[in-house]
Amino acid sequence: MSFLIAEVIVDVSTYHVDRPFDYRVPGEWMNVIELGCRVKVPFGPRNVLGFVVGLKEETDVPLNKLKAITQILDMEPVLTEEMLQMAKWLKNDTICYEIDALQVMLPSALRAKYEKTIKLQQGQQLPLEAQDIFGKRQRASFKEFERASLLPLLKQLVAENIVTIENVVKQQGNVKEIRMVQITADQQLIERASEQSSRAVKQRLLLQWMCQHLGEVFSPHQICDEAGVSISVLEAVIDKGAAQFIQEEVFRDPFTKEVSRTQALQLTDEQQVALQAITTAMDQQIAQTFLLHGVTGSGKTEVYLQAIQKVLEEGKEAIMLVPEISLTPQMTERFRSRFGEMVAVMHSGLSVGEKYDEWRKIQQGKVKVVVGARSAIFAPFTNIGLIILDEEHESTYKQEDSPRYHARDVAIWRSEYYKCPIILGSATPALESFARAKKGVYTLLSLKHRALHQALPTVFIADMREELRQGNRSMFSQTLIEAIRARLEKNEQMVLFLNRRGYSSFVLCRDCGTVVQCPNCDISLTYHRTTEKLKCHYCGYEEHVPQICPQCQSDHIRYFGTGTQKVEEELYKLFPEARVIRMDVDTTKHKGAHEEILETFGAGRADILLGTQMIAKGLDFPNITLVGVLSADTSLHLPDYRAAERTFQLLTQVSGRAGRHDKPGEVIIQTYTPEHYAIELAKTQDYEPFYEREMFLRRRSNYPPYYFVALIQLSHEDVMTAAEYAGRVADWLRGNLSNQVAIIGPTTASIARLQNRYRYQCLIKYKIEPNLIPVLQRLLAMYRAEWVKQGILMTVDLDPSTI
Ligand SMILES: Nc1ncnc2c1ncn2[C@@H]1O[C@H](COP(=O)(O)OP(=O)(O)OP(=O)(O)O)[C@@H](O)[C@H]1O
Ligand SMILES: [Zn+2]
Ligand SMILES: [Zn+2]
Distance 525 CA to ligand 2 centre (A): 16
Torsion over CA: 417, 421, 425, 429 (sign): positive
- Cβ pair 581, 610 in contact under 8 A: yes
Q: ipTM of the assembly?
A: 0.95
The candidate with the shortest Cα–Cα distance to 616, out of 653, 570, 652, is 653
**What residue numbers does the annotated binding site for Zn(2+) cover?**
509, 512, 518, 521, 536, 539, 549, 552
| Amino acid code (one letter) for 451 | A
Q: How many residues does the chain have?
A: 803
Of the segments 427-431, 523-527, 784-788, which one has the largest average pLDDT value? 427-431
Please provide the average confidence, as pLDDT, over all residues in the chain.
86
DSSP 3-state assignment of 165? Answer: strand
| Nearest Cα residue to atom 25 of ligand 1 | 296
Question: How far apart (Å, rounded) are the C-alpha atoms in residues 155 and 32?
Answer: 6
DSSP 3-state assignment of 676? Answer: coil
List, chain by chain if needed, residues with CB within 6 Å of any ligand 1 atom: 265-268, 271, 294, 296-302, 427, 451-452, 618, 620, 656, 660
Q: Where are the beta strands (DSSP E) in 148-242?
A: 163-169, 176-183, 217-218
* Ligand that lies nearest to the alpha carbon of residue 520, given by its number in the listed order: 3
- Cβ pair 628, 496 in contact under 8 A: yes
DSSP 3-state assignment of 746? Answer: strand
Of the segments 107-111, 202-206, 207-211, 267-271, which one has the largest average pLDDT value? 267-271
Q: Provide the edge-to-edge strand list for the sheet that holds 5-10.
A: 21-24, 5-10, 46-56, 38-43, 71-72
Pocket-testing residue among 452, 615, 623, 627, ligand 1, by greatest number of atoms within 8 A of Cβ: 452
Amino acid 172: pLDDT: 38
Percent above pLDDT 90 for the chain: 44
The candidate with the shortest Cα–Cα distance to 31, out of 158, 211, 142, 192, is 158
DSSP 3-state assignment of 725? Answer: helix
Amino acid 367: pLDDT: 96
Question: How far apart (Å, rounded) are the C-alpha atoms in residues 765 and 780?
Answer: 19
- Cβ pair 562, 474 in contact under 8 A: no
Mean pLDDT of 69-75: 86
- Cβ pair 500, 633 in contact under 8 A: no
Residue 256 has pLDDT above 70, yes or no: no
Phi, psi of 459 (to 5 degrees): -115, 130
Distance 560 CA to ligand 2 centre (A): 14
**What residue numbers does the annotated binding site cover?**
509, 512, 518, 521, 536, 539, 549, 552
Distance 755 CA to ligand 3 centre (A): 6
Residues 6 or more apart whose Cβ sits within 8 Å of residue 51: 8, 9, 36, 37, 38, 39, 79, 84, 99, 102
Mean pLDDT of 273-281: 97
Distances, alpha carbon 65 to alpha carbons 2, 70, 517, 787, 801, in Å: 16, 15, 56, 30, 45
Mean pLDDT of 484-492: 95
CA dihedral 779, 412, 414, 54 (to 10 degrees): -20
Pocket-testing residue among 292, 301, 322, ligand 1, by greatest number of atoms within 8 A of Cβ: 301
pLDDT class for 173, splitting at 50, 70, 90? very low
The residue ranking higher by pLDDT, 435 or 352, is: 435
* Residue 655, CB-side half-sphere exposure with 13 Å CA sphere: 29
Amino acid 169: pLDDT: 47
Distance 527 CA to ligand 3 centre (A): 13
The residue ranking higher by pLDDT, 149 or 732, is: 732
Question: How far apart (Å, rounded) are the C-alpha atoms in residues 235 and 230?
Answer: 9
Amino acid 326: pLDDT: 63
Amino acid 65: pLDDT: 87
DSSP string over 59-81: -SS-TTTPPBP-EE--SS-SS-H
Phi, psi of 784 (to 5 degrees): -65, -35
For 602-625, how does the pLDDT look when each residue is reduced to its tens digit (9 = 90+)?
Answer: 899 999 999 887 777 768 888 999
Distance 516 CA to ligand 2 centre (A): 10
- Cβ pair 337, 261 in contact under 8 A: yes
Mean pLDDT of 772-780: 93
Distance 542 CA to ligand 3 centre (A): 8
The candidate with the shortest Cα–Cα distance to 5, out of 88, 83, 49, 67, is 67
pLDDT class for 503, splitting at 50, 70, 90? very low
Mean pLDDT of 671-689: 89
Residue 67 has pLDDT above 80, yes or no: yes
Distances, alpha carbon 696 to alpha carbons 184, 435, 678, 700, 705, in Å: 76, 12, 13, 6, 11
How do the residues of the chain divide into helix, strand and coil, expressed in percent and rounded to 5? Answer: 35, 25, 40
* Ligand that lies nearest to the alpha carbon of residue 272, given by its number in the listed order: 1
Mean pLDDT of 16-41: 88
Of the segments 123-137, 506-520, 668-682, which one has the largest average pLDDT value? 668-682
Distance 530 CA to ligand 3 centre (A): 20
Residues 6 or more apart whose Cβ sits within 8 Å of residue 478: 467, 472
* Ligand that lies nearest to the alpha carbon of residue 554, given by its number in the listed order: 2
Burial class (CB in 10 A: 0-12, 13-18, 19+), 695: middle
CA 587 to chain centroid: 21
Q: Where are the beta strands (DSSP E) in 572-636?
A: 580-583, 608-611, 624-629
| Nearest Cα residue to atom 18 of ligand 1 | 299
| Nearest Cα residue to atom 15 of ligand 1 | 299
